[in-house]
Structure 1
Amino acid sequence: MMLSELNPVALAALPVAAFKDHLRLGTGFADDGTEDALAEAYLRAALAAIEARTGKAILARDFRLELTDWRDDWAQALPVAPVSAVASVTLRDAAGGTETVAPARYALERDLHRPRLKGAGGYLPGVPAGGTVEVVFTAGFGPAWADVPPDLAQAVFLLAAEYHEHRHEAGGGRAMPYGIAALIERWRNVRVLGGGGA
């Protein structure tokens, strides 16, 4: 399985000014844009860390999932949530030939934690021997920061502020602070039974 992010979070979607206000950065000094670039970097790093811990795409963007076979012939769990749309399903044979699957042959089963691609009225389309299947989909709570649930938005701000506060410290490996971990706990996807069917 390989998951690729097809387009990064747009700078316009990041709340750089609000985050600078959160940090209570000084104003009235010459603005060379340095603080904006740093704020953006801390927000992107915090966003990535929170998304990795929760399995959620916080801001909407497109992803491509590439598989050598379906995990289940009836349905395939998608690795990030929430998924709002499946743009395409493409079968690729061993020689590189492609076939775009008709949207009538599959359906998105929406779920906040484990969205799935299901076969419409039966099995998912068969993956060619020695080939792959690519699923392109959109995941995220929405395109704007206002679409993000408040607890996740707060967790991103707090973690980005933590990165800002400790930016001169060498090393890493620090655990996620308890307050941030508590904010994201309800969004974490807990797998049981070895992740069967997930």
Structure 2
Amino acid sequence: MRLTEETTLPAGALPLAGLKQHLQLGSSFALAPDQDALLDSHLRAALAVIEGRIAKALLTRNFLLVLEGWRDADAQALPLAPVSAVLSVQLIDAGGAVTLLDPARYRLIRDQHRPRLAGTGAALPEPGTGGRVELRFQAGFGESWADVPADLAQAVLLLAAEFYEYRHDGGVQMAALPARVLALIEGWRQLRVLGGGRRG
């Protein structure tokens, strides 16, 4: 299984002003000038860490999931949530021939933690030996930072602030996520069962 982000976050998508305010309130001193690029990089790194820990896309982007075959022919679990749309499903055989599946042959089962792609009335069609599936989908809470749940938004700010504070120590102080960040994201974490297959 390989998951690739196909759209990147545009400049201004992350709460740069919010991080600046958080840092200034916490340290009681003004930030050095011309640090927007550095702060943005810390926000992007914090976002990636949080998303990886909870298997959620905080801001809406398009993703490509490549599979050698379905883990479960009835319903394939998707590795990120919340999924708002399945954009396309392609079967590519061993010779490279591409078959675009009719959307009428599958449906999205929405779930806060474990969205799935299921066949409609039958099992999902297989790509065949040596082939693969390319599944494109859209995931995220919304396009604006205001759409991100408050606890997750706060976790990103806190972690970005930690990255900024320890930016000169080579990561020694950041061997693990801070307890307050873990407390904020705990309710959003999911158990990975059967490597993405059916639960229970």
Using the size of structure 1 for normalisation, the TM-score is: 0.92
Q: Give the superposition deviation at 1:20.
A: 1.1
Q: For 1:1-40, what aligned pairs fall within 5 Å after superposition?
A: 1-24=1-24, 26=30, 31=33, 34-40=34-40
How far apart, in 1, do the equivalents of 2:98 and 2:70 lie?
A: 17
Which whole-Å CA distance do the structure 1 matches of 2:8 and 2:170 have between them?
A: 28
Write out per-residue CA displacement over residues 18-52 of structure 1, whole angstroms, 9 at most, x where no aligned residue. 2112212627x8x5xx3110110000010011011
Q: Structure 2: any 5+ residue segments left out of the alignment?
A: none
Matching residue of 2:83:
83
Instruction: Go from structure 1 to structure 2 and tell me whether the alpha carbon gap of 1:116 and 1:158 turns closer, same or farther (over 3 Å shift).
Output: same
Task: Give the match for residue 183 of structure 1.
Answer: 184
1:128 matched to 2:128: yes
Structure 1 consecutive aligned stretches of length 4 or more whose deviation exceeds 4 Å:
192-196
- Kindly state the Cα deviation for residue 129 of structure 1 after the two structures are TM-superposed: 2.2
1:115 is matched with: 115
In 1: Cα distance, 2:141 partner to 2:153 partner: 11
Report Cα offsets for 1:99-135 as digits up to 9, x if no partner.
Answer: 1100000000000100000001121122122111110
Task: Give the fraction of aligned pairs with identical amino acids, expressed as a percent.
Answer: 56
**Partners of 1:106 and 1:194 in 2: how far apart?**
21
Equivalences for residues 60-75 of structure 1 within 5 A: 60-75=60-75
Gaps of 5+ in 1: none
TM-score normalised to structure 2 length: 0.91
CA drift of 1:192 comes to 4.7
Q: Structure 1 counterpart of 2:78, which letter?
A: L
SS class of match (2:124): coil
Residue 133 of structure 1 aligns to which amino acid in structure 2?
V
Aligned Cα root-mean-square deviation (Å): 1.7
Cα distance between partner residues in 2 of 1:191 and 1:6 = 24
| Structure 1 residue 155 corresponds to structure 2 residue 159 | no
Check if 1:44 corresponds to 2:48.
Answer: no
One-letter code aligned to 1:180: V
Specify the code of the residue in structure 2 equivalent to 1:26.
A
Residue equivalent to 2:146: 146
Q: May I ask how many residue pairs the two structures share in their alignment?
A: 194
